[in-house]
Structure 1
Amino acid sequence: MSAQVKYLWTEGAVGERVGPDILEEGDRSRPFSDKFWSGVEAVSLERLKEIQLHRLKFLLSFTYERSQFYRELWDSKKVKPSDVKSLKDLAKFPIVTKYDFEKDQAARPPFGTAPTSPPSQHLKYWQTSGTTAKPRIWMDTRQDWENGILLYSRSLYGHGIRPGWRGFFAFGFPPFIGFWLCFAATEAMGCQVVPKGTLPTAAWLQLMRNIAGTAPSFLCSTPTFAIRQMEAAKEAGFSPADLRMDILTLAAEPGACVPATNRLLTQGWNAKIHDILGATETSGPILFSCEKQAEMTPVSDHINIDYFIVELLNPDTLEPVPEGSPGTTCVTSLGRYGMPAVRFLVGDYLRVDERPNCGCGRKLPLAVGGVAARTDDVLFVKGIKLYPSLVETSVRSLAGLGVEYRLQKKDNQVTVLVEADPGVPEKEYPELAQKLQQDIKLKAHVTLPVEVSPPATLPRLETKTPRVVKG
């Protein structure tokens, strides 16, 4: 290990640490400057791509040697790590999906053949959320976890969060990686942490209220549950702004980058709204918003490309899209070694600006406008692509409607399920349905049936909320 790179944990605490050192990371346990947690964030795009290639070559060799799943797959496609001379050569390797891992784990339970080390050498075990496929087991080594903490520290610091702040974590601690990793990074940064755990929402809000204003604070939550906490605060007779949150860090679903949702949360909480997004299979945040982007409409998210290679593909052909065009994401995680993700089809739909000249000074590319949709959630209605985020914008922009919604799919029909605001007479529901139908038609050029129900009809979840449901 280079003496110029200082890690959060000692070699003894991590065990086997593999992969190349990146000198620009310097001391990973503390901020590089008042603007950046890591000096890597400010290096040139050309240097970032050198780092990508350096890490990629090691990852492919390491994975081929230690992972039966990938070795057999790559041998069957007649590709090998030595084939990679440039970043473009990664496209020679096959794409893998969640269904490939699901099949592997079913054939060789419980962990499958993807891990590169025995279960005893892993620190954390996870289960994917299962919103679009059968839940799968995923694991992290101590080094994987340490790398994830670094990426979350960088991202939270990019939001404007600093050592000494207090983080409120509004989740029940299920076996989903994102919130746990953010929690660990918050502690590692030198912040205080307040977990919700199994507290009912009303009791949780009272806890927040009891200590409100005694430290700069942020809330980590899904966008959906951030809205539910707003509703619950109002039901209890006080404003969410009384809880004195300076920042909302939104995970698991797009939030800050959806203008109507951003506006709703900004006004309700009187706070800055940020995204921090990734996937269980890739670990660590792939995307995060900075302080400068939080001032923009729509918000765009930086991509941590020194730890992730994000390819944009045509969702129908899975071939690369032209530079500057939007596509669905295929991600290679360069800092996860225990259970690698090489060309994993994440499926977020976005457009990338490689040289954004962001006012924050970071040279990391931007996902312009954030995540537009998850490809798995895109619906085809009468030959037209329908994104849930588009419906969300309509729902959360119309007076008289609540903020929850679902897209109910039955055969070839998609129905929009929404709620009325409290106090709206039921006789006005048909008029609300017509207004929403017209607004969606104006945006998406398709007419959808709309059903308006009384308030609190649709369930509220702390974790990722499935927007597309079966009828």
Structure 2
Amino acid sequence: MIAPPATVAEFSARVPFTTKADLVADQAAHPPYGTDLTYPIARYTRCHQTSGTRGAPLRWLDTPESWEVMVDDWVELLGVAGIGPGDRILFAFSFGPFLGFWLGFEAGQKVGALCFPGGGMSSPLRLRVLLENSCSVLCCTPTYALRLAEVAAAEGLDLNRSQVRTIIVAGEPGGSLPATRQRLETAWRGARVFDHHGMTETGPVTFENPAIPGHLRLFENSFLAEVIDPGTGKPQTIGETGELVLTTLRRIGSPLLRYRTGDLVRARTAPNNSLLFEGGILGRVDDMVVVRGINVYPAALDEIIRAVPEAGEYRVTFDTRGALTELNLELEASDAVAKEVARRLQRALGLRISVTAVSAQSLPRFEHKAHRWQRR
């Protein structure tokens, strides 16, 4: 019998990476759930599914034990966010097959909060539910929180009446970026933003560390984390940007070993030696665009745009068909604001990026994960 790895270093040296492509191929070869199952199918009671926006969706099964482990992680998250009995939480997401805020809804009940499901509702209806029921917590993506504030203004709904004091955001980068947080807190009359991230395949992964703003903390009881160079697969040192790799420790019904998440992070060490990610999730490995030799990440662009108060919704188009990648930005703003954004982009990134002013409400809006970047 082969002896198991004795150290983390030996584990990393001996165990190969798992990729999403591996999981997709396994489920295609062994439909519908693949072979990454610890128990007979009869033991599983939950099935969730990835969104499929980056290829074939994955179906992910959980036993009651694995599900409860993830709910307990969310209970810890809510406790750190100061949420408990007496709070009223609106979960403004579709309650579709992806994992989303299903765990958060059950955790909210477990901590004694009154929970409102927002699936199947229009944005104006969600706002009315939030205001009429004096909800104190809003759970959604950063983009959708901004969208709700925009809809409130259009519908004549006064957010000064809102009792929301905490907005828990997830699903896309932004919740740990200062400019995005400031815009959210201004739009929601001083409500505090609390960032979190997770994946259907892994469950909840990180939550905000209130003692160190702008950093996400790993659920260290649930994961072994590594940060690697996306190109070489070699370990990155603390402070370097790299791809997050996770091994699940407690979600054993469908375990993952050294799973390449595709999420870009910059690891730091807290004073108590816990692992933190500075700036939250910085973007996706496959979202990075190289423009004239410079790596451009969507989160970096978003941070620059959100820092200009008059800048509205935007869309980025990039063209990789020529010898050099071209990046163009459409922005709901005046010509003067568009020029200011272009100036800030050049100063921060060292690139001249075309910024075109377009009329208000002319660009798409998103209720869940935003898809602002388009390839030609």
**1:148-167 matched pairs, under 5 angstroms:** 148-167=70-89
* 1:356–1:366 CA contact under 8 A, matched in 2: no
Query: How far apart, CA to CA, are the structure 1 residues paired with 2:2 and 2:329?
Result: 49
CA-based RMSD = 2.0
- Among residues 183, 197, 200, which one is paired with 1:280 in the alignment? 200
Specify which of 118, 123, 132 is matched with residue 196 of structure 1.
118
Q: Give the C-alpha shift of residue 350 in structure 1.
A: 1.7
Secondary structure of the residue aligned to 1:254 is: coil
Distance in 1, Cα, partners of 2:270 & 2:10 = 22
Q: What is the one-letter code of the residue matched to 1:128?
A: T
How many angstroms apart in 2 are the aligned matches of 1:345 and 1:121? 27
DSSP-derived class of the 2:115 partner: strand
User: Where has structure 1 moved over 4 Å in runs of 4 or more?
Assistant: none
In the alignment of these two chains, the number of paired residues is 372
| The one of 305, 325, 334 aligned to 1:395 | 305
2-side partners of 1:432 and 1:81: how far apart? 64
1:433 Cα deviation after fit: 3.4
Aligned to 1:58: none
8 Å contact from structure 1 (residues 304, 364) kept in 2: no
Q: How far apart are residue 414 of structure 1 and its match?
A: 4.0
| In 2, Cα distance between equivalents of 1:413 and 1:168 | 42
Contact 1:402 1:418 in 2 (8 A): no
Q: Is this contact kept in 1: 2:93–2:119, CA < 8 A?
A: yes
Unaligned runs of 5+ in 2: none
Distance 1:202 1:326 in 2: 40
Supply the distance in 2 between the matched residues of 1:99 and 1:452 (Cα, whole angstroms): 39
Asked whether the equivalents of residues 183 and 309 of structure 2 are also in contact (C-alpha less than 8 Å), the reply is: no
Letter in 2 for 1:191: A
8 Å CA contact 2:195–2:216 kept in 1: the answer is yes
2:12 paired with 1:97: no
On the 8 A contact 1:288/1:303 being kept in 2, the answer is yes
Match of 1:455 among 327, 352, 360: 360
Contact residue 98 and residue 200 of structure 2 kept, 8 A: yes
**Is the counterpart of residue 175 in structure 1 residue 90 in structure 2?**
no
Cα deviation, residue 399, structure 1: 4.4
Pairs within 5 Å for 1:3-14: none
Q: Distance in 1 between matches of 2:23 and 2:255?
A: 11
Q: How do residues 216-365 of structure 1 correspond to structure 2 at under 5 angstroms?
A: 217-269=136-188, 270-283=190-203, 285-293=204-212, 296=213, 299-357=214-272, 364-365=274-275
Task: Flag the structure with higher helix content.
Answer: 1
**C-alpha distance 175-331 of structure 1, shift in aligned 2 (>3 A):** same
CA distance in 2 between partners of 1:394 and 1:354 (Å)? 26
TM-score relative to the length of structure 1: 0.75
- Structure 1, unmatched stretches of 5+, are 1-79, 358-362
Distance, in Å, in 2 between the alignment partners of 1:235 and 1:348 is 35
The structure with more radius of gyration: 1
TM-score (norm 2): 0.93
Q: Do the aligned partners of residues 390 and 355 (structure 1) sit closer, same or farther apart at CA in structure 2, a change above 3 Å counting?
A: closer
Partner of 1:134 in structure 2? Answer: 56
Report the residue type matching 1:131 in the other structure: T
How far 1:308 moved relative to its partner? 0.7
Query: How far is 1:94 from its partner?
Result: 0.6
The one-letter code sitting in structure 2 at the alignment partner of 1:338 is G
1:443 is matched with which residue: 348, 353, 368? 348
Amino acid at match of 1:466: H
CA contact (8 A) 2:314 2:332 kept: no
TM-aligned CA distance change 1:301 to 1:356, over 3 Å: farther
SS in 2 for 1:117: coil
Tell me what 1:118 maps to: 40
When residues 414 and 146 of structure 1 are mapped into structure 2, their CA distance, relative to the original with a 3 A threshold, is farther
Q: Deviations over 1:312-335 (max 9, x none)?
A: 101110111124433210111111
Aligned mates of 1:386, 1:237 — CA distance in 2:
38
Deviates more, 1:221-230 or 1:134-143: 134-143
Aligned partners of 2:240, 2:132: CA distance in 1, in Å? 49
Contact residue 241 and residue 268 of structure 1 kept, 8 A: no
* SS of structure 2 residue aligned to 1:385: strand
